[in-house]
Amino acid sequence: MMRRARDVQSPDLRTLSREELEEVYRKTLDLAAKLLSYRALSASALREKLIDKGCAEEAADYALAYLQEHGFQDDRKYAESTVRSYTRRGYGTLRIRQELRRRGIERDDADAVMEDCEPDLDAMLALLDKRLHGDLSDRKEVNKAVAALQRRGFLWEDIRRALNEYGASIDADFD
């Protein structure tokens, strides 16, 4: 019978000797550092992974606090990295916010990082060009392109600006 990670019982820390308790905390800290060495994680994701692997909540909280205090885990930097990555991949602010929430970033950190986030107009124009091939006359195709931008998380005012820019660039090509 196979056990899931959540089924693993964490030790009752109240029954441990001081040496055993220190050993549990050290092992939890080592595991947390190992998990962060593979890839960056938000505080909540790291805590959840530690608990899933059978660590006591108290030990997971200790490891997390230690790593944050020493600068090895920082939700704000993690959020900034996520925003840069998703912006480069052509996603809009709504989709990026959704991804930050999914990854466990607190609202305050997400708001602070998203203040400077500007939609990538070039990515929007590239998507419009890929979908429309310079032809704005087919309303159905324009609607499909707009829907594609919305699915990527762009706000309507940004989509409208991109459509205007795309139309202006088409008009300039015909002059």
Q: Where are the domains of the chain?
A: 5-69, 75-114, 121-174
Half-sphere exposure in the Cβ direction for 77 (13 Å, CA): 7
94 contacts: CB under 8 Å, gap ≥ 6: 153, 154, 155
pLDDT the model gives residue 98: 96
pTM of this structure: 0.77
pLDDT the model gives residue 155: 94
**Cβ count within 10 A of residue 60:** 24
Geometric angle at alpha carbon 126, from 124 and 131, rounded to 5°? 95
**11 close to 49: Cβ distance less than 8 angstroms:** no
The tens digit of pLDDT for each residue in 147-160 reads 999 999 999 999 99
Dihedral sign (CA 18, 24, 27, 32): negative
Query: Which CATH code of 1.10.260, 3.30.160, 1.10.3470, 1.10.10 fits the domain covering 75-114?
Result: 1.10.10
Q: Which two tokens stand for residue 99?
A: 């991804």
The tens digit of pLDDT for each residue in 12-67 reads 777 778 898 899 899 999 999 999 999 999 999 999 999 999 999 999 999 999 99
**How far, in Å, CA of 24 to CA of 49, rounded?**
16
Residue with the bigger pLDDT between 6 and 56: it is 56
Q: Is residue 1's pLDDT more than 60?
A: no
Task: Give the ranges where 16-104 is alpha helix by DSSP (H).
Answer: 18-38, 43-52, 57-69, 75-88, 93-102
135 contacts: CB under 8 Å, gap ≥ 6: 141
pLDDT the model gives residue 175: 35
Q: Which two tokens stand for residue 170?
A: 């088409």
The tens digit of pLDDT for each residue in 126-155 reads 999 999 988 888 889 999 999 999 999 999
**How far, in Å, CA of 28 to CA of 52, rounded?**
12
